[in-house]
Amino acid sequence: MSDLQIALILLGIVLILLVLLFNWWQDRRVRKQMQERFPEREVDPLLGPPPPSATGLRREPAFGPVDPGPAGPAVAPGMTPDPAADEADDIEEVDAATEMVIDISFAQPVPSDLLHAATHTVRRVGSKPVRMFAERDGGGHRARLRAGESYVSMQLAVLLANRSGALTEIEWSELWTIAQGIAERFDGALEGPEQQQVVERARALDALCADLDAMVGLALQLPGPVAAADAIRALEDAGFLRYGAALAWMSDRGIPRFTALFDGQQPGVLQAAEVERIDLVLDLPNSPQDDQAFSRMVGVGRHLAATLDAQLVDDHGNPVPEGTEEAIDRQLHERYGQLAQAGFVAGEARAARLFS
Residue 167 DSSP class: P
The CA distance from 95 to 162, in Å, is 14
187-214 tens-digit pLDDT: 999 999 999 999 999 999 999 999 999 9
Residues 109 and 235 in one domain: no
Residue 21: half-sphere exposure toward Cβ, Cα within 13 Å: 6
pLDDT at 342 over 80: yes
> Is 131 contained in some domain?
yes
> Is 46 contained in some domain?
no
Confidence tier at 17 by pLDDT (50, 70, 90): confident
41-62 tens-digit pLDDT: 333 333 333 333 333 333 444 5
Residues 115 and 177 in one domain: yes
Residues 114 and 156 in one domain: yes
Residues 120 and 144 in one domain: yes
Q: Which residue has the higher pLDDT, 74 or 231?
A: 231
Q: What average pLDDT does the structure give for the chain?
A: 84
Give pLDDT, residue 323. 83
Residues 287 and 310 in one domain: yes
Examine the fold and report which residue of 151, 180, 206 is the final residue of a domain before the chain moves on. Answer: 206
Q: What b-and-e string marks burial along 303-339, b requiring 16 or more CB atoms within 10 Å of the CB? A: ebbeebebebbbeeeeebeeeebeebbeebbebbeeb
> Is 69 contained in some domain?
no
Confidence tier at 333 by pLDDT (50, 70, 90): very high
CATH number, position 143: 3.30.1400.10
Examine the fold and report which residue of 206, 226, 244 is the final residue of a domain before the chain moves on. Answer: 206
Q: Which residue has the higher pLDDT, 315 or 274?
A: 274
Give pLDDT, residue 88. 85
Q: Is the distance from CB of 297 to CB of 257 less than 8 angstroms?
A: yes
Examine the fold and report which residue of 186, 206, 226 is the final residue of a domain before the chain moves on. Answer: 206
Q: Which of 222, 163, 109 is nearest to 355 (CA)?
A: 163
Give me the number of domains the chain comprises: 2
Residues 155 and 229 in one domain: no
Task: State the residue range of the domain holding 272.
Answer: 213-354
Residues 262 and 169 in one domain: no
Confidence tier at 66 by pLDDT (50, 70, 90): very low
Residues 123 and 189 in one domain: yes
Residues 202 and 217 in one domain: no
Residue 211: what are its φ and ψ, rounded to 5°? -75, -25
Residue 124: what are its φ and ψ, rounded to 5°? -160, 160
Residue 104: what are its φ and ψ, rounded to 5°? -125, 120
> Is 80 contained in some domain?
no
Residues 148 and 222 in one domain: no
The answer for residues whose C-beta is within 8 angstroms of residue 162's C-beta and 6 or more apart is 127, 128, 129, 209, 353, 354, 355, 356
Give pLDDT, residue 23. 61
Mapped onto helix, strand or coil, the DSSP state of residue 113 is helix
